[in-house]
Amino acid sequence: MIPLTLRQVAETVGGTLHAVPDPDLVVTAPPEHDSRKVVPGGLFLAVPGERTDGRAHAASAHAAGAVATLASDPLDVPTVVLGEGPYPTPPEESKRLALAAVAALAKANAEALVAQGLTIVGVTGSSGKTSTKDLLAQVLATKGSTVGPPGSYNNELGHPWTVLRAGPESVFLVLELAARGIGHIAALARIARPRIGVVLGVGSAHLGEFGSRENIAIAKGELVEALPSAEDGGVAVLNADDPLVLAMAARTKARVVRYGMSESAEIRAADVRVDALARPRFTLITPQGEAPVELQVHGEHQAHNALAAAAVALECGLSVAQTAEALSRARAASPRRMQVTERADGAVVINDSYNANPESMRAGLRALVDMADNSGGVSWAVLGPMGELGEDSIALHDQLGRYAVRLSVKRLLVVGDSRSAKALHTGAVLEGSWSGEAELVSDWSQAARIVADELGPRDVVLVKASQSEGLWQVAESLTNVVEGRADVAGSGLV
């Protein structure tokens, strides 16, 4: 974050100073919305949440070294007051004011840093955003100081929070932009306008909220609409293998670069294959030349994500050889996303439990089968429901169950008693899982117990569901290995 005095902070967010002894005190660290993470010289953003109201934690943030709190109300600590009363401000209005303030600070920060040469890259798509962002941030870091969000900080709070992590030393800022409705990505892009925008794909994630894939495409395309013109350096990196993404070329004034497996893509891969742990190897083909890539992340779909990262890297001045080398060194950086652990007994657990949609589920299942085929062990899929699919949810879960059988997944445990979980299980049974290969279990602990009791030394387990299902507990119980097997007692199982 660029240095600002408290007076400048108040001016930027349209607030007033309360109980501030020195308005010219310089803020040396960006805002934190968790009082436990405040550092000396920083700001505390008092946001009301589902479980607690940040205003109640201002004193502890001040004790931790916060020079002031951004809040809707005047508090008993130095405060940049965002509201005009009457006080106390209702929680919903307090939250709105806090989010508007952090957005205003982030916008000012981004504009100042872009004027100093910062390159902002935005990444969106129905799936693969976090994995691609992680690859890209690591590749760009080989050329200059790079800021990217930890995990999926991609909403109206996490996005500006990330922008404020960029400072005068930053060369690149990589942002992940998510949407739950039309207009959301446009709003995020106004906070920090990207010069380069990447659209990975239009899938079924949040289909229940958008109503159709066409509406999802409208929302995702807001990123390329926000880019500068080609004359001003704007670049739209589009997935050549997705017609809905490719059509976004008509919606931008930026120069278009296509990536993918298609022959029409400027940045593409040839001879894609995977090793024993489903790590892709391929030849990166570009207009500037070719180079071999050996990814350290898992799943053939990661080759596609790597191509998107490569396209951006080349636009940012890396050579083909530098890009390929950096991609080959990059590691999975966000937890519970194709996180592969080899146990002491040789069994492998794939923790991909952070989130799930039909496209990422299929990608995870393909990686599972690839790895189990190479190891010679049994492929286990522990799956839970996918959220936010709307009226198509039952059909999509049924199709997923059938897909698992067609891939020859050997054991399928479906967790939960919802209609969606039952549809997933029923689809597998009707497709050909007639001898108990597919089993419907009540909760994560039952699933973990079954796998722990039966897992063989060469078996591979995929754990995947929407985050709200809590299936990460299955993966983490299985990877807490004691004397060659999962220590389920340490995870609260009996």
Annotated binding-site residues read: 125-131
The letter for the amino acid at 133 is K
The letter for the amino acid at 326 is A
The whole-angstrom separation of Cα 279 and Cα 348 is: 14
DSSP assignment of 148-202: --SSS--STTHHHHHHTT--TT-SEEEEE---SSTTHHHHHHHHS--SEEEE---
Can you tell me which residue has the tokens 């994995």? 131
Cα–chain-centroid distance for residue 243?
23
> Comparing C-alpha atoms, which of 450, 445, 440 is closest to residue 419?
440
My answer on whether omega of the bond before 385 falls inside 30° of 0, hence cis, is no
| CA distances to 48, 448, 486 from 453, in Å | 44, 9, 9
> Comparing C-alpha atoms, which of 393, 371, 391 is closest to residue 380?
371
Residues present in the chain in total: 494
Residue 36 CB-density burial (10 A; 0-12 exposed, 13-18 middle, 19+ buried): exposed
The whole-angstrom separation of Cα 266 and Cα 257 is: 7
φ and ψ at 172, to 5 degrees? -130, 145
Annotated binding-site residues for ATP read: 125-131
For residue 282, give both structure tokens: 């391929």
Residue 185 CB-density burial (10 A; 0-12 exposed, 13-18 middle, 19+ buried): buried
Q: Which residues pair with 339 in a beta bridge?
A: 351
